[in-house]
Amino acid sequence: MNKVLVTGAAGFIGSHLVDRLLEAGYEVAGLDCFTDYYSPGAKRRNLSRALARERFTLIEGDLLHLDLDGTLDGVEGVAHLAGEPGVRSSWGERFPTYLERNVQTTQRLLEAASRGGLGRFVYASSSSIYGSSDGGPVSEAGALRPASPYGMSKVAAEEVIGLYARERGVPSTLLRYFTVYGPRQRPEMALSRFISAILSGEPVEIFGDGEQAREMTYVADVVEATVAALEAEPKERVRAYNVGGGTRTTVGSLVNLVGGAIGERPEARYCPPVPGDVRSTWADLERSRRELGYNPRVSLEEGVEEQVRWALVERRSLARV
């Protein structure tokens, strides 16, 4: 495989994947429509290294409207990371946006892929499809019980991918990411909010009692799993894999860990629970280890320190502008 298309290339995970693929010698086409879910300027900064590389091409456009046959010309593998994120904002009137950006865009991309004989289609799914774990690690064979419209939209996208894999022969891999964190994380995500509040001397907002447990996965580990999925020979026409960090913590403990990395004692402000915010996530990684050779390497302490360092640099850079 020589050329890879990365959708959502300017986002948190997508931009790290682009950098990693370029370092590995791939030609990369990065597609992004720079929505205003968060700052388009931040997304462009995410791609600053990639834009300086000859083997990178940026395609600005919306998957709902682009000529995807032309976009996939010469592409051998697709890493489809584009989509509308966020559990809290998926309720209510914005749900049609989730259907468009998580389901319809995926179907359009698969339709073009099925016409062009694509070698590999890798989809960035989410642990949100499982809902809350019932006191133990959840395997890929576990029941899909999403607790939010966002999670439901990811289930729907997985079903569409399975259909195109079975009926149209698009070889596909579903990667179910568990709470990804690290440099470039979106500003509304928990760790980014905690860091920003502590650095600003403000109370940290914790939704619920803070005892919610999360499987935390550092972005570099997620990227390695995604590259492995692009390079591995498919076991089936469509195959799902959990991508977790092998480390769980509570939300309250995570706040204290961030405070320790910054050198401040955080003040917490408890807020009502958010609909769709599950009690526990926990990944069974046995299949990913066995079939993808996946082995998360970055500890939670190391990862949090890296994100804090990045946030401090970003904060100083923006202050100079």
26 as an active site residue: the answer is no
Q: How many CA atoms lie within 13 A of 6 on its CB side?
A: 29
**206 sits in which H/E element:** strand 204-207
Q: How far apart are CA 140 and CA 191, in angstroms?
A: 26
Q: Are 160 and 111 in contact (CB under 8 A)?
A: no
Whole-angstrom CA distances from 49 to 45, 53, 96, 274, 306 are: 8, 7, 34, 37, 18
Report the relative pairing of strands 120-126 and 213-218 from DSSP bridges: unpaired
- Out of 150, 177, 241, 294, the active site residue is 150
- Tokens 């500890």 sit at which residue? 299
Letter for the amino acid at 278?
A: V
Active site residues: 150
